[in-house]
Structure formats: C-alpha cells, structure tokens
Amino acid sequence: MFIGGEWVVAVDGATREILNPANNQVIATVADGNEKDADRAIRAARQAFDEGPWPSMPAAERAKLLLKLADKIDAAGGGLAALETRNNGKPLREAKFDVADAANCFRYYAGLITKPLGQNYEVPDPAISAMVVREPIGVCGQIIPWNYPLLMAAWKLAPGLAAGNCCILKPAETTPLTAIKLFELIADAGFPTGAAQLLLGPGPTAGNALAASPLVDKVAFTGGTATGRKVMTAAAGNIKKVSLELGGKSPNIVFADADRDLALEYAMFGIFAGQGEVCSAGSRLLIERSIADQFLPRLAAACDKIVVGDGMNEKTEMGPLITRDHMRKVLGYIDAGKQEGAEVLCGGRRLSGPGLDAGNFVAPTVFVKTKPAMKIVQEEIFGPVLAVQLFDTEQDAIRLANDTVYGLAGGVFTRDTAKGLRVLKKLRAGITWLNTYHPTFNEAPWGGYKQSGIGRELGTFGLEAYMETKQININLAPTKLGWFANV
Ligand code: NDP
C-alpha cells in the first residue's frame, strides 16, 4: 500500500493471493488492509490536504506532474497491458487500449485544469464585485471495480488530483496489480507526500471505511448498484459528496433499415468486448421483428466462432471471467434464463477443454424468445450473455429499451438518421450511440440515469465533480450599514 508517500504493509500484516483468471494460478501476493489501514490512509490524506502543498499548488505545476505521469504510463505501456491481462483476463489488445486511454486521461485533465474556471457575475449593487471560484473538495475516497482496473484508477485519480484533492484509491481486492504499478509511477513522478494513497483490502471493510469516515469529504464509486446503495448509505453520516457509476442493462436497437453487417458486428462487440463485464455492455439486443429470421442465424454462427481463451494469446477475442465465483453467478443466470423459458440460440455453457478447464471461461451466449419480466432481461449479468427482444414499431422499441431500472447506455442502428436521433433522445440513458457501440472518450461525460448512478465522470463534468463552488463578494465602497441605531 502507498500511504503518506511510503510503501507500507497492512497494519495487521495480512496478505492476499492474486489469481490469473485464465488458469487460477497465483501471480502475486499483496498487502490486504482493513479499517485500520483505511484510517491510516485517511489521516495521511487529511494531513496532506489541510497542511500540505498539493491543494494550493498552482494548477500549472499540478498539470506538469500529471503530464509526467502520463508519459511514464506510456513508457510502461507494454508491461502494464500484460499485467492487466494476467490479472483481469481481458484480451491483450483491449488492455493495450486501456493503458493508452489511461495515459490520455491524465493528459486531458492536466490540460483542463489550466483553462479558465469560475466566473464573474453582475449583481444589482454597484458597490459589490462578485465572482465564483472553484476549489478542491478535500479528501476523496475512490473505490473502483475489477473490470477496468487501470482505466478506472485513471478516471478517478486524474480529475481528483488535477482539481487539487488528496485522494485515496481503493482497487477491487481481486485486481490491484496495475494500480500498484501506477502508484510506483506516481511515486517516481514526484507528487507531494499524501496527494495520492493506495489502499488495498476488501470492500466491506477498507472500502466501507472510506465511505463512512467523517474525515473524508467525497466518495466516488464505480461498481454494482447494490454496493453503490451501501456506499451512499454509509456516506450519509457526514453528508459526503457522492458520485456513483453503477450498473446497466443497456439496449442495442437494430431497425430493419440498418446496415446489417455493421449492426451484427456491433451487436457482438457491444456484449462480448471485455467478456460482457462492462457497465455499458449492450446486453439487450432489440431487433425489428421483420428481420429477426434473417439476422439471428447469422448472429449465432458468428458468436460460435468467437475465439475464447487466455487473453495473452494474440488470437484470443474473449477472455475468462474474473473469478470462479463470478463465473458461477453468470452460469446461474444462464440456468435462470433456461428455466424461465427463454431459448439458447448459442453458447449457454461453461467452456472446457485444453487451455480452458483451469480458467473461468463461459461461451458467448445469446438468448431468444425472452419476455420483458425475465431475470436475464432485467438484471445486470456482467458476463457474455445477450438477451434478444423483438419489436414492431419505433414506439415499441423505445418502450422496451427503457423498461428496466437502469439507464446507463444505449445504441441505435438505422440508416434513417432522423429516426435514430428521435430514438436516442427518448432513451432514458446517459451515454448513447448511433450506428456504433462503445466508443468512449475522455472528453465526453460518462454516467447514468435512473439506478445507473449519480453524477458524471470524464469531460468537463468529471472535473466539476471534484470541485466545490464558492461565491466571493467584495465591497468596493465600505461604508457603515446603519442597520442598528446604537452602533
Ligand atoms: P462491487 O460493486 O461490490 O465492487 C466494486 C468495488 O466496491 C470494489 O472495489 C469492492 O471491493 C468495493 N466494495 C464492495 N463492497 C463495498 C462496501 N460495502 N463499501 C465500499 N466498497 C465496497 O462489485 P462485485 O465485485 O461484488 O460484483 C458484483 C456485481 O456488481 C457484478 O456481478 C456486476 O453485476 C456489478 N459490477 C458492476 C460494475 C460496473 O462498472 N457497473 C463493476 C463491477 C461489478 P472488493 O471487490 O475489494 O471487495
């Protein structure tokens, strides 16, 4: 763990073995902290914020350090990507993309923090000069999941640090390795003591302590909706600022007039990229009924050909699920789909055979003949499981698309741009795409409607989420008020 500018072991000396999900072999042993370690990290961050140089350092100086870090991430690129694949399982080509994106996230916020912030405003009193300044919030606890370990660390640390906060990052206990490497680079870059701490340990202890502590001013969380609810509840004690990026059950809508080759590939990319362990996964495919008979057999044939295996193999197109437990959970959903009467179009089972038995591999799975109330249609499975729903009209598609508690993302495929825009505007979701799925930019806000979260990350919105807003009123003509007769 990296706390107060030093590498430390857990207070209780506990450690945890880290597994490679492709074969469940131990690849590292790391410190495993709890509430005591969280307390130590919180106090270090508190002291750094209240007494240290970071919050008041000129933005240009903070930006220099962030740019230095970005260059170091790029320089460590190949090694970082391989480490991510070995720890998380995702194919190497995806991990390489994440590393480049993480470096650019630090660059983006280094640039943004040096741009104009705040405003002057006219008030109806000529004696008052009024302005708004933006300030860091303080100590920020940042809890991230296992599906994008390095990228989620960047999404949290880059805006948090750029704004001048002192941060405590808690990675998922299963995937701390690229975060550890990132903090080696942070230490190397020369950030002031206490600007950023790395806290390792389980969510219910170390993570909950960050959410609950009265010394923490903000908690930023990415993960499942059920855990997000717990974080929000724990954060209520001192009315922390809370930002939550939670789950989804996002619709990918294919109209009959779509470019069907394009729609087919993106239907697959939408759900099978990252093994479906992606918050914005297009896990529901809504197809106009008139093309279903033509589209679905092609989809099944293409899904059966997806190369599943160890992400380190260059030919691999889809890797293993994160843990044995998570694989069991995903297989449980597949069973539930079958029991509720949906039909397996392809996949629907654990994969076995040489190179697969020891890992957590599930076949790319597509369900048809679903009903809107089924678990596989309503709940976030977070695995390679696609539920197909059929629709007849534009209104029908919109109604089905919005018919879950989530509202993270959504895609539409049509050659009729006006229709596409009409539908996107009706989606109750924060991230939408026309004739594409998944492109994500550091420049654009990321977050959800409904139970998919609160607040936005990335873009200018992502920086706002790490700043307080203060109004300053200056009396240019100080004269006695004359309110009280005897003063
Ligand atoms: P969680 O949402 O529980 O984990 C995300 C992060 O929160 C991890 O760092 C975890 O720590 C931490 N955490 C767990 N419990 C608490 C708590 N009480 N207080 C504070 N922090 C906590 O995801 P899971 O790994 O349990 O996955 C469960 C389901 O959540 C998945 O099946 C999937 O549906 C969904 N999920 C959604 C994600 C998204 O981006 N939308 C990302 C990950 C999961 P640790 O893991 O160390 O215990």
CA distance 52 to 242: 24
Q: Beta strand pairing status for 128-136 and 119-121?
A: antiparallel
In this prediction, residue 222 has a pLDDT band, given cuts at 50, 70 and 90, of very high
Q: Is the shortest distance between the CB of 208 and ligand 1 below 6 Å?
A: yes
- The residue among 174, 169, 166, 372 whose CA lies nearest residue 284 is 372
pLDDT digits (tens, 9 = 90+) for 66-90: 999 999 999 999 999 999 999 999 9
Residue type, 112: L
pLDDT at res. 462:
98
pLDDT at res. 49:
98
What is the CA(152)–ligand 1 centre distance, in A? 13
pLDDT digits (tens, 9 = 90+) for 133-190: 999 999 999 999 999 999 999 999 999 999 999 999 999 999 999 999 999 999 999 9
In this prediction, residue 232 has a pLDDT band, given cuts at 50, 70 and 90, of very high
Report residue 29 CA to chain centroid gap. 25
Active site residue 303: no
pLDDT at res. 144:
98
What would the DSSP string read from start to end of 144-195?
--SSSHHHHHHHHHHHHHHTT-EEEEE--TT--HHHHHHHHHHHHHTPPTTS
Q: Which value, in Å, is the radius of gyration of the alpha carbons in the chain?
A: 24
| Strand ordering across the sheet containing 453-454 | 6-7, 2-3, 196-198, 166-170, 139-143, 218-222, 241-245, 453-454
Contacts of 425 (CB under 8 A, 6+ apart): none
Helix H or strand E encompassing 289: helix 289-304
Which of 279, 288, 346, 380 is catalytic? The answer is 279
Q: Is the shortest distance between the CB of 202 and ligand 1 below 6 Å?
A: yes
- Looking at 369-415, which runs of residues are DSSP E strands? 385-391, 406-407, 409-413
| Strand ordering across the sheet containing 385-391 | 343-346, 365-368, 385-391, 284-288, 251-254, 409-413, 431-434
Q: What is the pTM of this model?
A: 0.97
In this prediction, residue 59 has a pLDDT band, given cuts at 50, 70 and 90, of very high
Mean pLDDT computed over 116-137: 95
pLDDT digits (tens, 9 = 90+) for 89-118: 999 999 999 999 999 999 999 999 999 999
In this prediction, residue 465 has a pLDDT band, given cuts at 50, 70 and 90, of very high
Q: Is the shortest distance between the CB of 379 and ligand 1 below 6 Å?
A: no
- The residue among 148, 128, 294 whose CA lies nearest residue 222 is 148
pLDDT digits (tens, 9 = 90+) for 254-283: 999 999 999 999 999 999 999 999 999 999
> Which atom of ligand 1 lies nearest, measured to the CA of 381?
34
Average predicted confidence (pLDDT) for the chain: 98
Mean pLDDT computed over 319-343: 98
In this prediction, residue 302 has a pLDDT band, given cuts at 50, 70 and 90, of very high
Nearest C-alpha to atom 3 of ligand 1 is from which residue? 227
pLDDT at res. 327:
98
Q: Is the shortest distance between the CB of 205 and ligand 1 below 6 Å?
A: no
What is the CA(145)–ligand 1 centre distance, in A? 6
Q: Can you give the three-state secondary structure of 82-93, one letter per residue? A: HHHHHHHCCCHH
Q: Is the shortest distance between the CB of 275 and ligand 1 below 6 Å?
A: no
In this prediction, residue 4 has a pLDDT band, given cuts at 50, 70 and 90, of very high
What is the CA(147)–ligand 1 centre distance, in A? 10
Q: Beta strand pairing status for 467-475 and 128-136?
A: antiparallel
Percentage of residues of the chain with pLDDT beyond 70: 100
Percentage of residues of the chain with pLDDT beyond 90: 100
